[in-house]
Structure 1
Amino acid sequence: MSLSSRTAVAIHALTLLGRRHETSLTSAEIADSLESNPVLVRRILGSLRDADLVRSTEGRGGGWSLARAPREITLYDAFAAVEPGPIISRHPHPPSASCEVGRNIQALLEVEFQDAERAMAERLAATTIAHLLGRVTDIERELGLTNR
């Protein structure tokens, strides 16, 4: 199973915007931090804007900023904004009804998958962007890379 990288990109962007809250950042500046393409970043930011997590301003000096305080944005908010559908893929087509496993597996897996998805959602909802900002600051301090 492989999840997309959209959630990681979204959380990275939100954390960067929280860290640099004094100014707006362009999608190119965010893409530089991600070492990614600004077009991809704009798509992710557009989804975050649709979820009211970020806002954008156009024109000179414009860019992206958080729409809420970092303590009010959870990692689950970011995930839900950018990931469509269930976390774990289901059977692409119904398995064989003539097989004892095939006719029962979907119902069995659905319970397991829903429990796993619920656990992941609860874990992501327990962490905010403010938590990540604090951890970034702690790591930078430990490494002697900040004066804060």
Structure 2
Amino acid sequence: MKPKLTVDGHNQLQTRLSKLRDEKTDARERIRTARKFCDFREDVTYAEAVDHYEQIETDILEIERVLDDAVIIESEQSKIVTFGNKVVIREVGEDETENYRIVGEAEANIENGTISISSPLGRSLLGAKVGQIVPIESPAGPIEFEVLKIEA
């Protein structure tokens, strides 16, 4: 199954890829510098530089794979929650509202207000209408959320 991305998510991954490529150049230079002054069997600085470089390379390959395979979906105004929509919800019995954009796994980041369509909350919200109560199974037990607003 091809990963789904919003236009914003695609742009964010492109920006992240560019930054990683710059970091990769810097990391390669750290390895060269560490190599000049180390005993490879014992030098922690060299080992850390190599590990950091390898992690950057892994991240680059993963982002490139996602970008190459992704289907980009533009969010549209809808009467039901669909991929890419921003949803305003409130836990039943609570006053505080929560805002989330429903996105693919590659761009989901709860701290940025994005949740995956494959998360329990994301799955439950898909297809919901304004005013609808959606149940979510959580480790602490069932929770109900009311859909207050759907935006493109």
Asked if TM exceeds 0.5, the reply is: no
Larger radius of gyration: 2
Judging by fraction of residues, say which structure has more strand: 2
Q: What TM-score, normalized by structure 1, do the two folds share?
A: 0.30
Judging by fraction of residues, say which structure has more helix: 1
Q: What TM-score, normalized by structure 2, do the two folds share?
A: 0.29
Higher relative contact order (CA 8 A, sep 6+): 1
